[in-house]
Amino acid sequence: MCAIGTANPPHRIPQLQIADFMASALELDEAGTRRLRALYRVSGIEHRYTVLPDYGRPNGEYEFFPNTPGLEPFPGVGQRMAAYRRHALPLSVQAVQDCMRQLPEVELSSITHLITVSCTGMYAPGLDIELVAALGLPGHVQRTCVNFMGCYAAVNGLKLANAFCQATPDARVLLVCTELCTLHFQKSHEDDHLVSNALFGDGAAAALVQAQPAVTGPSLALTAFHCDLEPDGHADMAWHINNFGFEMTLSSYVPRMIQQGIGHLTQRLLADLPVQLADIRAFAIHPGGRKILESIEQALGLTAHDNRFAYEVLRNYGNMSSATVLYVLRDLLRTLTPADTGAPVLSFAFGPGLTLEAMLLTVAYGADEVNELNVQNEAVVTS
C-alpha cells in the first residue's frame, strides 16, 4: 500500500451541536436531552462530517429533512439513496485525487484494478462505473465491489488487492472506500439507535496497492491476514435495510465481546510469523467507539499512546465505517521514516457477525531511500 488519500464533505459539525439536532428530532424532554448530551460528551468525538447541513441547523432551515415537528414525513430509503448517489462520486474522486497527488510517478491510466467499498448506498450502474468515467480510467479496468459488509470491509478490499498483486506482479489496484453514514439517521429512542446516531460520520478514503513500494516515502506491505467470528455477537452488531434507511444495531455488549476475542485473533494472526505481540510498536485499530478501543487496550496490554492514531481519528471524524481504518493508517504513515523499514504494524477492524479482522503490515521503503539511509548511518559511525 503506497499511499492513502482521504476526503470529507464540507459540513463539519461539533458533536454537541449534533446532539441538539437529535434531541429536537426525537422530541426529547429536558431530562432526556440531558442524558443524550451526556452520551455525546463521553463518546470521544469532537466533530463529525456530513453531506447533510441539517445536523448543524435549527428546524425550519433543513434541506433534507422536513421542517416539521418530528421530521414527518420521515425520509424513506429512496430519498436517502438519491442523496447517496449525488454525493458519493464527488467525495470518492476527491479521495482518489488526494491519494494520487502523493504518487506523481503513477498515472491513472496505469490502474489495472478498481475496488469500491461501501455499506451506506447502492445503485447500478454504480459508483465503480462512475469512477471509471470521472477519473478517465481505462474501460477494461477490472472492477470489484465490496458492499454491505460494514466497518471491516476495507480489510477485505485490501485482501483482494493483495491477491491481485500476487497473481499479477505489475498490477496496480485502486481501493476506494466511501461511506455516507449520516444519511441513515434513525428516529428511534432505542439505546442501540441512540448510540449509532452518536458515532457515525461521512468520509471517503482511497489507497493505491502495488507489488513494489512507492518510489519515495513509506509504504505498507500487506504481510498477513486473519479473520474470525464471534457467533454470540450475531445480533449485537447488525446492519439492516428498513423503510427509513439502513438501520444499525450496536449493542453495549460489543466491546466486551471484542475484548474476549481479540487475544485469540492476534495469536492466530501471528502464529506462523516471526513476530510476537511484544515486537509490535505501531497499531492501526478501527475506532468503532471509545469503549471498543479501551477494551482492546485492556485485553492486549496496550496504552492509549499505542492507540493514539485511532483516538485522533475518532475525535476528529467519528466512525466512518469502512473508510475509518484507512484514516488511521494514513496518520500512521505520515509519522514513518526510512529508519522504520521492516517494522511491523498491527491493525484490527470489526463489523456485523460479529466479525473480527486482523492484519499485519510491514513498513517498506524503496531501495534507493534505504541505501541512502545506510550511507548516512555509515557516515555517522565513521565520523
Query: Which domain covers residue 71, as residue numbers?
Result: 3-210
Task: Quote the pLDDT of residue 379.
Answer: 38
* Domain assignment present for 337: yes
User: Which residues neighbour 376 within 8 Å (Cβ) at sequence distance 6 or greater?
Assistant: none
Cβ atoms < 10 Å from Cβ of 128: 19
Q: pLDDT exceeding 90 applies to what percent of the chain?
A: 82
* Domain assignment present for 287: yes
Residues 168 and 314 grouped into a single domain: no
pLDDT band at 371 (very low <50, low <70, confident <90, very high): low
| CATH number for the domain harbouring residue 336 | 3.40.47.10
Residues 181 and 33 grouped into a single domain: yes
Phi, psi of 7 (to 5 degrees): -155, 145
Per-residue pLDDT tens over the stretch 216-253:
999 999 999 999 988 877 676 777 788 888 877 776 76
* Domain assignment present for 381: no
Question: Exposure string (b/e) for 290-322, b if CB count within 10 Å is 16 or more?
Answer: bbbbbbbbebbebeeebbebbbebbbbbbbbbb
Residues 129 and 170 grouped into a single domain: yes
pLDDT band at 109 (very low <50, low <70, confident <90, very high): very high
Per-residue pLDDT tens over the stretch 271-286:
999 999 999 999 999 9
Residues 135 and 235 grouped into a single domain: no
Question: Exposure string (b/e) for 201-217, b if CB count within 10 Å is 16 or more?
Answer: bbbbbbbbbbeebbeeb
pLDDT band at 289 (very low <50, low <70, confident <90, very high): very high
Per-residue pLDDT tens over the stretch 139-191:
999 999 999 999 999 999 999 999 999 999 999 999 999 999 999 999 988 88
* Domain assignment present for 376: no
Residue 360 and residue 270: Cα distance in Å, rounded? Answer: 8
* Domain assignment present for 375: no
Residues 228 and 156 grouped into a single domain: no
C-alpha cell at 175: 481501493
Question: Can you point out the beta strands (E) in 290-338?
Answer: none
Per-residue pLDDT tens over the stretch 14-72:
999 999 999 999 999 999 999 999 999 999 999 999 999 999 999 999 999 999 988 99
Residues 186 and 230 grouped into a single domain: no
Number of domains in the chain: 2
Q: Which of 2, 99, 119, 151 is catalytic?
A: 151
Residues 187 and 235 grouped into a single domain: no
Asked if pLDDT for residue 373 goes beyond 90, the answer is no
pLDDT band at 376 (very low <50, low <70, confident <90, very high): very low
Residues 95 and 133 grouped into a single domain: yes
Asked if pLDDT for residue 380 goes beyond 60, the answer is no
Inter-residue contact 179 to 323 (CB < 8 Å): yes
Q: Is 151 a catalytic residue?
A: yes
Asked if pLDDT for residue 328 goes beyond 50, the answer is yes
Task: Please give the average per-residue pLDDT across 253-260, as a whole number.
Answer: 85
Summary mean pLDDT of the chain: 92
Task: Quote the pLDDT of residue 97.
Answer: 98
* Domain assignment present for 244: yes
* Domain assignment present for 373: no
Task: Quote the pLDDT of residue 369.
Answer: 57
Residues 152 and 267 grouped into a single domain: no
Domain final position from 210, 242, 257: 210
* Domain assignment present for 294: yes
Task: Quote the pLDDT of residue 126.
Answer: 96
Domain final position from 210, 227, 248: 210
Residues 301 and 251 grouped into a single domain: yes
Residue 237 and residue 354: Cα distance in Å, rounded? Answer: 6
Domain final position from 162, 191, 210: 210
